[in-house]
Amino acid sequence: MTEIDRRGAIGIVGLGLAAAAAGAPASAQTPPLSPAFAGNHKPVPLAFDPAKLTGLSEKLIRSHYDNNYIGSVRTLNMIETRLATSLADKDFPPVVYGGLKREELHRTGSVILHELYFGALGGDGAAAGEVQKAIAASFGSFANWDAEFRRTAMSLAGGSGWCVLAWNFHTSSLHNYWAWDHMHQPVASVPLIALDMYEHAYHMDYGSAAAKYVDAFMANLNWEEIDRRFRRVADARAS
């Protein structure tokens, strides 16, 4: 499976789950199910040249990708393997199992959000497509959305979390969500843009100047990819 195919499959699976949660039928394109605790996640390669981003250094991107993202992929595989082996142990302590389940949620969120983050970089930051129109309609103007997205991101500066533009299937609306600790994305929502506000995402280049990092992120967004994500949402809504 290619990097683009895998990214699309992730999006389709996410849309199927969100649609089911909202009472809508799942897409016929939903791929075959994988075992719950397969433990075989593979890192998605970067789809852009990290040396050619504007305002984000290659050193920063590679450190973020190699240490934080790939680290979460490896840890998620380890946690899933441990959960699989614990199924046969009827005396496994619930308090210990609870810790594994929390880490499973934490690492799953980290892997998915990082793949969305890196997968939307490599563009020129010029918004276009149906998603731009939908954003403008939802927030009164695209400029209103941009200001609110940046404000939400900056509310996390110096802390840890994500700023996420998502489609909420339950409310049929677009929202900028404040997401703490990789795992506070609202139920029945599908992320379209994920901005990592953990300091590891920008401190190497900008220190504590988080606003400059947000500027750089926005300048490198690939809106063709974001529009593809939005159109998958639109297809799921129509099914």
Question: Is 39 part of a structural domain of the chain?
Answer: no
Question: Is 37 part of a structural domain of the chain?
Answer: no
Ranges of residues in the chain with a pLDDT under 50 are: 1-28
Question: Is 147 part of a structural domain of the chain?
Answer: yes
3-class state of residue 178 by DSSP:
strand
pLDDT at 19: 36
Question: Is 183 part of a structural domain of the chain?
Answer: yes
3-class state of residue 187 by DSSP:
coil
Note the pTM of the prediction, 2 decimals. Answer: 0.86
pLDDT at 238: 79
Give whole-number Cα distances, 168 to 14, 58, 60, 153, 171, in Å. 12, 34, 32, 19, 6
pLDDT at 85: 92
Question: Is 61 part of a structural domain of the chain?
Answer: yes
Question: Is 91 part of a structural domain of the chain?
Answer: yes
pLDDT at 30: 64
Residue-range definition of the domain harbouring residue 59 = 1-29+45-239
CB count within 10 Å of CB 128 equals 12
Tokens of 29: 């394109």
pLDDT at 108: 95
What residues contact 126, with CB distance under 8 A and at least 6 apart? Answer: 223
Question: Is 187 part of a structural domain of the chain?
Answer: yes
**Alpha-carbon gap, residue 177 to 130, rounded angstroms:** 20
pLDDT at 88: 86
Counting the structural domains of the chain, the total is 1
Question: Is 34 part of a structural domain of the chain?
Answer: no
pLDDT in tens, 97-132: 999 999 999 999 999 999 999 999 999 999 999 999
Give Dmax (Cα) for the chain: 57
pLDDT at 29: 60
Q: Residue 146 sits in a domain of what CATH number?
A: 3.55.40.20
